[in-house]
Structures are given as structure tokens and as C-alpha cells.
Structure 1
Amino acid sequence: MTDTVLLAIDGPRATITLNDPAKHNRLNTEGLGKLRAAIEKADADPNVRVTVLTGSGEKTFCSGYDLGSIPSGKEAKPSSEVHKDSFEPVMDRLEAMRMPTLCALNGGVYGGATDMALACDFRLGVKGMRFFMPAARFGLHYYPSGLRRYTQKVSPSFAKRAFLLSEDFTDEDLLRVGYLDWLVDRGEFKAKVDATAAKLAGLAPLSMSNMKRAIEQFAQAEPDIPKIRDGIRECQTSDDLREGLSALREKRAPAFKGR
């Protein structure tokens, strides 16, 4: 059986690869656990000065979380009970890595993977990639730290277009709004990844790690997290989420009732 998350450490560079291209590199709880383990192993290595996160294949970086695994209604747990290998804590752990991270988006980025990229310090995209966040299409409320990253690292306007309009974005759109730091042709992609990673690995590590932490602290806001989690719980137990997921499985338009 192929390992769905690969970790390679070569001197000062760690590379984490999502390795399930047949399923668009999507993640379930098991895959998220493997991703967490790879993050923690790379972060614990004192020789690692940069971590590159990418995906296998040329079509999709990652299609996010396996929607069939999302509980709803009575199956939903209170939002305060967050498993360590669910999306939110794993993305938070990625964001908290000691040294800089580069997300090498080798293809389309969808759902929770859009936040995975934002949890990295830099994002390099390949021309032809696309983006969408489908949460509102089936009644899901996104977790607080993901909403923070969208708002903080790009803009409130972008967050509203992605979450409230569920808008599809092209590669050029993503560069224009600031989601991507760079956008290159497929033939230039690997060289740009390697050059950027090498530059990051060659700078002063103590300076880098401390300035990374300081920049993140300056960017933090203080929202009412308990109230946000109440909203998440309301959506998790709603008829709308059950209807949205049923419509997704049945390939039809959902009929939301607002309850």
C-alpha cells in the first residue's frame, strides 16, 4: 500500500509530499495524522531550515478533507472536542513550525487544502491551477484559525468571496489578490521551488525563526472564539448540513431551509 504522506530530509531542506494523486491527494483523519507526524519530525530536526510542502502529480495539490468523513446532525461532536488529527490542529501545527515553510502548489487547491497553503509562510503556484472553497455549498462552517488565516494573510474581502460566494478563482486571480507569492509555468516550477528553498535555507536560522514568530504575533487579532465555535456547532447539527451532504452524494442542487 502506498504511503499517502512522504517525508524526505536532505540537509537543511525537508520536503513533505501528499502522495495520493488518484484521489487528488485528499486527506482523511489517518492522512492528517501522517501529515502531523511528518511536520513534527521535520520540525524536531535541528538541521532543517526550510520545509517544502507539495503534492504528487500535476493535476491537484490537494482536494482537502474527505467529505464522506464529515459528521453531521446527532453524529457531530461539540466543536470544543477537536481531535488532534482533525484539520484545524494539524494546520495550526504546520503554521507554528519553527523555520520557514514553502507550499509548492503543483496543481489545483480545494477545500481545507486552501487553508493548508495559507498555514505555510510562502505559496508558489503553477500556471493552470484553480481554487475553490465549497463550505457554503453544503452548509459547513469553517474553523476559527482557518478563517483567521484567510482574513489575516490575504484580506477580509478575499475571505468573503471565497466563503460567502464560494467563488472559483483562477491562477491569475490568486496572484492578483495576494494568495500566491509567485506563479510560474510548469516547466519552471521545480527550479523555482528549489531556488526559493535554497535561499531560505541559506539565511541566518535564529534570525529567521524569531522574526517569523514576531511577524505572526503582530498580525494576530482577538476574535470571540467561543461565539464562533457556537456557530460551528449550530451548523454541525443543522438540517442544512445533512441536506448539503446528501445533495453532494446524490449530485443534485441542495434545498436549504436555514435550520
Structure 2
Amino acid sequence: MSGCVLCTRVESVATVTLSNPGKLNAVDFAMWQSLAALLAELSRDEQLRCIVVRGEGDQAFAAGGDIEEFVSRRDTLERAMAYHAQAGAALQALADCRQPTIALLQGACIGGGLEIAAQCDLRIAAQSSRFGAPINKLGFSMYPAEMASLLRLAGAAGLLEILLEGRIFGAAEALAKGLVTRVVSDAEVVDETYASARRICAGAPLVARWHKQWLRRLQQGDPLSDEELRASFAFLDTADYREGLAAFTEKRKPQFRGC
């Protein structure tokens, strides 16, 4: 029986849940397909302001790909390429989400699960959560296109250590390596993640999208053009900008509408 990807929504926050009971939420091919389609749909939702990605229960975010499926889905070059094209599409859909994304990390965050978490904008981990990519013990290498986000977070030396040793390590080390942005107690991780989502939702949604856009652009390395610098002031024409200034002057909370 395959796993599934669930989605619930409370006000302007959507929760995407990786669910594969009995397999520590290991991600199978159908889940990669569902994840790509769902994230593309959510990204188009103008009323949505934040997406939380988590695993079902508190034992795992996702313990990698579903290894049992590899003998049928990755047994030839053509099928392996198709499999990772679909996984890549899901990871890219997460990276391309216009809304801020937060990974809520409990338990095991391994292999493909670590790749999913790395594509989120923020990663909030429980103190007892565990990380790694022990695929060297399974005789296969990480797909190069899926290394990029981990390389960006951990750097070449850090990623090589993770891949060459295949060691499972804790949240404190993951924080030191840059793989997570915050570590809190197990009892606080759910509340802290949704508190973070509420803080994001309290800000201007267009500004959040622009910050994501410009940070991605800056990571390309080449200088911004004059046209791009002028475009960075697009906020001047928004109602939310006028509302933010008015709320500051009137000493009240702003009511942003995303326009």
C-alpha cells in the first residue's frame, strides 16, 4: 500500500503532511507525484500566506525514499531517470512556492526527507530529531540534481562528510552544519513552528514573496541590473505599503491584503 500526501488548512496557513504509516513516512513514487501537484496548486492560492511541511506523527518527518520500491522503480537507467525526474519536480515545486515554507522536523529526517526539508525556507527541529543520508550503506549515490539544496546549506565539506560517512546525527549538529534554522524542545516544536507561521502571516504577503525572489536572484552571483534594482521598489505602488505606514503612524496592527 502506498503512502499519501495530506493537506489541511487553518485560515491562511496550509499544512502538508507526508504520510506513510509503518515506514516512517518514507516517500514513494506516488507521494512524489502528489507532492509536486499539491505544491503547485498551493503556490497559486492568493489567500495562502504560509505552508508548513511535516511528517505524520512524531516519529519521523520522512525516513528517505521507499527503498522497497527501488527494485521496481529504479531497476533500469530509464526508470531511475524517470523516478528522479518526478522527485526533482516535487523538490522544485517546493523551492518555487511563492509562499514562505516551514519544515516541522520531528524524529527521523533522512535521505529524501532531508532533501525535502532543505527546500523549505525555514526548518524548525525538535531536539531529539535525527538527520543523515546513509545511502553509502545501500550501494547507491545521491542524485546530483538533488544535492544542490544540501550543498547550499551545508557547503561542500559538510555535505561530503554527510555522504561519505553515512552517519546519523542529532539536531544540535544539524544546526551547526546549517541544515536547520532552529532547534527547540520536543514539547515545543509544534507550537513554535505554528507560532513562526503566524508571525509570517502577520507580515505583508507580497513582501514575503519579494524577499524569496530577491534572495534567490542574489544567490546567482552576478550583479543586479539597473532595471532589477528599479523593480525592487515595486512595493511603492501597493496598498499594503500604504497600510503599513499608516498603521505605524497610528500605532495599530496593520491589516495587509496582499495587494
Following the alignment from structure 1 to structure 2, what is the Cα–Cα distance between the partners of residues 84 and 149? Answer: 15
Provide the rounded CA distance (Å) in 2 between the counterparts of 1:2 and 1:200.
34
| Cross-structure match for 1:228 | none
State the match for 1:187 in structure 2.
Answer: 187
Q: Measure how far apart 1:74 and its partner are.
A: 6.6
Q: Which has the higher contact order (CA 8 A, sep 6+)?
A: 1
CA-CA distance at 1:219 after TM superposition: 2.1
Determine helix, strand or coil for the equivalent of 1:120: coil
**Equivalent position of 2:178 in the other structure:** 178
Residue matched to 1:15: 15
When residues 135 and 217 of structure 1 are mapped into structure 2, their CA distance, relative to the original with a 3 A threshold, is: farther
The CA distance in 1 between the partners of 2:6 and 2:203, in whole Å, is 26
| 2:33 and 2:87 in contact (8 A); partners too | no
Question: Which deviations, in whole Å up to 9, do the C-alpha atoms of 1:157-211 show, x marking residues without a partner?
Answer: 2111111221221111111222111111121112101110001112111121122
Aligned to 1:146: 146
Number of residue-to-residue matches in the alignment:
221
CA distance in 1, matches of 2:20, 2:168: 23
User: In the alignment, what sits opposite 1:77?
Assistant: 78
Verify the 8 A CA contact 1:107 1:128 in the aligned structure 2: yes
Deviation at 1:18, TM superposition (A): 1.2
| Alpha-carbon distance between aligned partners in 2 of 1:174 and 1:84, rounded to the nearest angstrom | 25
The C-alpha deviation readout for 1:93-140, integer Å capped at 9, x for no partner, is 111111110000122111111110001011000111111202222232
For 2:40, the aligned partner's letter is E
> Taking structure 1 as the reference length, what is the TM-score of the superposition?
0.78
CA RMSD of aligned residues (A): 2.4
Q: What residue ranges of structure 2 are gaps of 5+ in the alignment?
A: 223-259
Cα gap change, 1:37/1:177 in structure 2, threshold over 3 Å: closer, same or farther? same
Give the residue type in structure 1 aligned to 2:104.
A
Mapping for residues 1-259 of structure 1, pairs under 5 Å? 4-70=4-70, 75-77=76-78, 81-82=81-82, 86-220=86-220
Quote the sequence identity (%). Answer: 23
